[in-house]
Structures are given as C-alpha cells and as structure tokens.
C-alpha cells in the first residue's frame, strides 16, 4: 500500500481542527493539528501527534508544555495560517491560559504539561495532562474531512 492510499483512507475519518501552541522564551509558536484525541478522564490526559519535520517538535521538547485550541467553524483563517497555507505574515494576538498561549474564541482552550513522549515512525506522540481548560460555548466546530474543511452546523 502506498503513502497516498494510506493518507486517503485516514482522511475518510472526519476530525475537528486544533491549533497547538507553545512559548519558548518570549517566542510563541503555533501549528495546526488534527491528530488529537482525548485519552483518559482520571487523570485528564490527551494525545497529539507531531511530524518530525515540524518545527513545533523541538519546541515542545524544550518547554514540556503546550496549549491546544479547538477551533470553531468561523476560525478557518487560523487553521490555514498555522498550517502555513497563507502567504501573508499575520500578527496574531493570543489569549493566555495557565501561562500557555491559546487562540482567542476557540471552542476550548487547554493548557497541558507533557507526561510522556513516544516516537512513532515519522511522528512523535505527546501525552499531555490538562492543567487548565477554558470553554467558549455556542459555536459549531471546524471540521476536516477528505482533505477539505467542512462546517458542522448544529
């Protein structure tokens, strides 16, 4: 099976869209990610998967902390920006949760501390403990399906 077939098959699983963030010194860095899952309620754990080529990887290794923002459907621009799909530089104003930068008005803004790290093929999995969560309710989520953005109107 080739890489394209695998990617196409995985793309038939619809996901939400998140922006992962961290802060190294005074520099904030963000990247779009849909490889995210809730893992455990007690303790409250979640998992993200970061490509070995992403500059985010070394940054989370350095800080051992990250922010995770679950995007609403009106936040497509943030997703495209933090996936490097927009040409223009943009000055982003972040919210802050427990010392971690997060995306303003995201459906959920979560500050995490890395509990465990697993290298898995060409990605690294970070198991994060949720230190603090802020919910901003009342919007539909941004959806990613078969390589395209969708909206789930509730």
124 scored as a contact of ligand FAD (CB under 6 A): no
Q: Please confirm whether the linkage preceding 23 is cis (ω < 30° from 0).
A: no
18 to 37, contacts with ligand FAD by CB under 6 A? 28-35
70 scored as a contact of ligand FAD (CB under 6 A): no
Q: How far is the CB of 21 from ligand FAD (least distance, A)?
A: 8
Q: Which residues contact 51 (CB under 8 A, 6 or more apart)?
A: 57, 122, 123
Cα 114 to its chain centre, rounded Å, is 14
Q: How far is the CB of 20 from ligand FAD (least distance, A)?
A: 8
110 scored as a contact of ligand FAD (CB under 6 A): no
Spatial separation of the C-alpha atoms in residues 36 and 134, rounded to whole Å:
18
Q: Give whichever of 42 and 117 is closer to ligand FAD, judged by the CB atom.
A: 117
């Amino acid at each position: 099976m080739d890489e394209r077939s695998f990617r196409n098959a995985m793309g038939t699983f619809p996901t939400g869209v998140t922006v992962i963030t961290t802060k190294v010194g005074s520099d904030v860095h963000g990247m779009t990610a849909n490889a995210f899952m809730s893992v455990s309620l007690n303790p409250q754990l979640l998992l993200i998967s970061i490509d070995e080529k992403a500059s985010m990887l070394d940054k989370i290794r350095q800080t051992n902390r990250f922010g995770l923002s679950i995007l609403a459907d009106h936040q497509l621009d943030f997703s495209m920006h933090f996936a490097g799909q927009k040409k223009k530089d943009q000055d982003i104003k972040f919210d802050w949760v427990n010392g971690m930068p997060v995306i303003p008005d995201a459906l959920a803004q979560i500050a995490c501390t890395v509990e465990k790290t697993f290298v898995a093929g060409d990605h690294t999995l970070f198991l994060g403990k949720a230190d603090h969560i802020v919910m901003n309710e009342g919007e539909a989520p941004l959806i990613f399906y078969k390589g395209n953005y969708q909206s789930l109107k509730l």
